Every structure is written in structure tokens, then in C-alpha cells.
């Protein structure tokens, strides 16, 4: 299959439904990286596994893959190179897997669901998951033993619909959690309810005792806080707008920054359809995948717009130690980036770089 930059517009349109494109900007060199990811095959089977780019063929290669029962969402890499994955919310399975070994599955009890994200402790002792209590609708963080995935203790997130969680790199005992703030019910699955009563927030927890160290909300209550990333000592939050008015939703910001005075949304120099998918921190600032706007929005660390990378269905993002940004989406012609194809697979929302 030819490189995306060699395709005509007609070929691109024909390929977009079947092939997936990954982009690295600026172009990479040296040893090929490995990425943990989840995807859907052309036969609609959902999988998690490892991808590695092959520049000689101009394609990504599936290094290892495991079938999963339903669509996965967040993936993470443990200290021993193991892959952790959680089912998309409302999720009922959690996975720990290393290629060549039997996978370990944990199924949720009837009163709890997973909310799609996992986070290993930097020292590898425990794994954290965001969850929802189906009886009350309240959000929880559960601390699990990293090897067995069995629950050890839980802390309330002081909100509904907790999504991604992230360690504070400057304070190892502090954990940030994004409460999406949207009410759902077991009988209606992912249907969003009572949006006029949304209560999204960012919470900082002391993981020694589970105590709340801080909680922040945006002035616009219809912006759901979803995903988190660090750029230096600055925390960025990817947002998803839930306004009833289509024009207001289309023009809504997709990035907020945590500052001493609280959370502040930042504007971009084009409409982003009010939907920030994945977010990655780079030495320069933040990148937000905007699948509904068809690209990746680049911001300086203070929030100022820094650039736009066109990429249809762009979502999955990862930054490596060299400051290179890896972006997943669908084919598009362009300049200033190296583009490798992954035919026949549709990448899910997130991926993680090994190392």
C-alpha cells in the first residue's frame, strides 16, 4: 500500500474507511518505538496489543494482539512492560497482559462499572481504576493489587462520571481525577441524562488517605472534563461540550489549564466542534486530538494556539522523550510529518508509548 502522501484525493477517499494512519511530527529516526493500543479489525473484532512502525514498508505492524470481549478505551504500560486495559464505560472487564503469557481478566461486580481508564503506580505496586457505583451514580477510584488486579481500597471522587486519572509528578502521593459530571443509569447505558444538572470537576486526592486536597470547576457547567496531561508543571484538561445549542457546542473550547486561581479555558484560532478527545503534553505545551474537527490542535504551555495538524478522526496521541508527537487518525495528504499506514484496523481513542 502506498504512503499516504503519494495518494490522490480519490485514493484517499477510498482508503479512509479501511486504513488507519499514524503520524509522527517531526519525522522520527533511530530505533522504532512500540505503542500499546486498542483497535477494531475490519471484521469488527476488538483487540488490544502492541504496534511497531516499519519505515521500510511504510506501514505499522501488529507485533502482538489479544481479542477482547468489547471495545477497550484507556490502555497503560506497567513497570514490567505489561499492558493494562479497561473496557469502555460502562465497562465490565479489566485486563493485565504480556505477550507470551496468559492474560489476566477481572470482571466487575454487578454494582460497579469501570469508566475506561487505568493508572499504574510508578513503583508498580498497585493499579488505580475510575469506577461508578450503579446504585448511587457516584464516582470512585479503586486501588488494586497490580499483579492480581484485586481491589484493596476505594476513595470517592466527589463527583459523577470520573474519567482519566493522573499522578502529580512533583508530589508522588497526589492524584488528579477528571470528573465528567454526566449522569447515566444502568438501564440506559451510555445515554447522557440531566445535562442541565451537570457537575464536572477536577479533583486532587491525597493517596495516603484518600482525602480531597482541591476541587476545581469551570464557569461553563456544560463542559465535561475528560482527559489529562502534563506539560512541565502545567496540567491540561481536554474538554467535551454538552450544550443544547449546536452553535454554542461547535464553538466551545476543548482545553482548560489548571492555574493558581483555578481552571481556565483557552480558545483556539478555529472552531473545534467542542470535542477534545485525547490530550498529550509536549515540551512546548499541549496537543488535543479533535476527531470531529478533523485534526490536532497544538497549544503553547500558556494556552496560546501554536498550530493545527489536519488529520481526519484524529484522537490517539502520545509524546516521546524526544518531544516527538505521535498522532493516530485516518489518511490525509499533508506536509511536515511522517505518515505510516495501518491497513484494515481502526484505532481507538488512546495509545501509550513504551518507555
Q: Looking at residues 307-317, what average pLDDT do you find?
A: 90
Give the confidence band of 192 by pLDDT, cuts at 50, 70, 90: low
Give the integer Cα–Cα distance in Å for 174 and 167: 6
Report the share of the chain in percent with pLDDT over 70.
Answer: 83
Closest CA to 289 of 254, 261, 332, 259: 254
Indicate the range of 128-137, 164-173, 307-316, 333-342 predicted with least confidence. 333-342
pLDDT of residue 53: 80
**pLDDT 10s digits, 220-279:** 999 999 999 999 999 999 999 988 899 999 999 999 999 999 999 999 999 999 999 999
Distances (CA, A) of 62 to 54, 320, 332: 10, 20, 22
Query: Of 71, 111, 78, which Cα lies nearest the Cα of 93?
Result: 71
Confidence label for 184 from pLDDT (cuts 50, 70 and 90): low
Q: What is the residue-averaged pLDDT of the chain? A: 85
CA distances in angstroms from 138 to 10, 85, 231, listed in the order given: 49, 22, 30
Listed residue (9, 139, 129) closest to 76, CA to CA: 129
Whether pLDDT at 13 is above 60: no
Domain layout of the chain by residue ranges: 68-217
Beta strand spans in 42-92 (E): 46-54, 59-67, 72-77, 83-87
Which range is least confidently modeled, 181-190, 249-258, 322-331? 181-190
How far apart CA 88 and CA 130 sit, in angstroms, is 11
* CATH number, span 68-217: 2.130.10.10
In this prediction, residue 340 has a pLDDT band, given cuts at 50, 70 and 90, of: low
- Of residues 76 and 4, the one with the higher pLDDT is 76
Distance CA 295, CA 277 (A): 11
d(CA 57, CA 60): 8
| Whether the predicted pLDDT of 159 surpasses 90 | yes
pLDDT at 187 over 80: no
Q: What is the pLDDT of residues 14-49, one digit of tens each?
A: 222 223 445 544 444 456 688 999 999 889 999 999
Model confidence at 303: pLDDT above 60:
yes
Q: Residue 189 pLDDT > 80, yes or no?
A: no
What pTM was estimated for this model as a whole?
0.88
Amino acid at each position: 500500500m502506498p504512503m499516504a502522501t503519494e495518494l490522490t484525493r480519490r485514493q484517499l477517499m477510498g482508503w479512509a474507511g479501511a486504513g488507519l494512519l499514524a503520524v509522527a511530527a517531526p519525522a522520527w529516526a533511530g530505533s522504532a518505538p512500540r505503542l500499546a493500543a486498542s483497535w477494531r479489525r475490519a471484521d469488527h473484532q476488538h483487540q488490544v496489543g502492541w504496534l511497531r512502525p516499519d519505515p521500510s514498508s511504510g506501514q505499522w505492524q501488529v507485533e502482538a494482539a489479544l481479542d477482547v470481549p468489547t471495545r477497550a478505551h484507556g490502555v497503560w504500560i506497567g513497570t514490567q512492560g505489561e499492558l493494562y486495559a479497561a473496557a469502555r464505560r460502562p465497562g465490565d472487564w479489566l485486563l493485565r497482559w504480556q505477550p507470551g503469557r496468559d492474560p489476566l481478566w477481572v470482571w466487575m461486580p454487578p454494582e460497579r462499572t469501570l469508566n475506561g481508564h487505568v493508572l499504574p503506580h510508578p513503583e508498580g505496586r498497585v493499579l488505580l481504576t475510575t469506577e461508578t457505583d450503579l446504585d448511587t451514580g457516584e464516582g470512585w477510584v479503586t486501588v488494586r493489587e497490580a499483579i492480581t488486579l484485586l481491589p484493596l481500597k476505594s476513595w470517592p471522587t466527589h463527583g459523577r462520571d470520573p474519567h482519566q486519572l493522573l499522578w502529580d509528578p512533583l508530589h508522588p502521593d497526589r492524584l488528579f481525577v477528571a470528573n465528567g459530571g454526566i449522569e447515566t443509569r444502568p438501564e440506559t447505558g451510555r445515554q447522557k441524562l440531566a445535562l442541565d444538572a451537570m457537575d464536572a470537576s477536577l479533583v486532587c486526592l491525597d493517596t495516603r488517605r484518600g482525602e480531597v486536597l482541591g476541587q476545581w470547576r469551570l464557569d461553563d457547567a456544560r463542559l465535561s472534563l475528560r482527559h489529562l496531561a502534563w506539560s512541565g508543571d502545567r496540567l491540561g484538561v481536554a474538554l467535551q461540550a454538552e450544550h443544547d445549542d449546536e452553535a454554542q457546542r461547535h464553538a466551545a473550547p476543548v482545553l482548560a489549564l489548571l492555574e493558581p486561581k483555578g481552571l481556565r479555558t483557552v480558545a483556539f484560532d478555529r472552531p473545534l466542534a467542542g470535542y477534545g478527545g485525547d490530550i498529550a503534553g509536549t515540551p512546548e505545551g499541549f496537543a488535543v486530538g479533535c476527531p470531529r474537527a478533523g485534526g490536532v490542535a497544538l497549544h503553547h504551555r500558556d494556552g496560546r494556539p501554536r498550530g493545527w495538524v489536519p488529520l481526519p478522526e484524529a484522537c490517539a496521541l502520545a509524546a516521546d522523550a524526544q518531544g516527538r508527537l505521535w498522532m493516530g487518525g485516518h489518511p490525509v495528504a499533508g506536509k511536515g510529518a511522517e505518515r505510516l499506514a495501518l491497513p484494515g484496523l481502526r484505532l481507538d481513542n488512546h495509545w501509550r508509548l513504551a518507555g
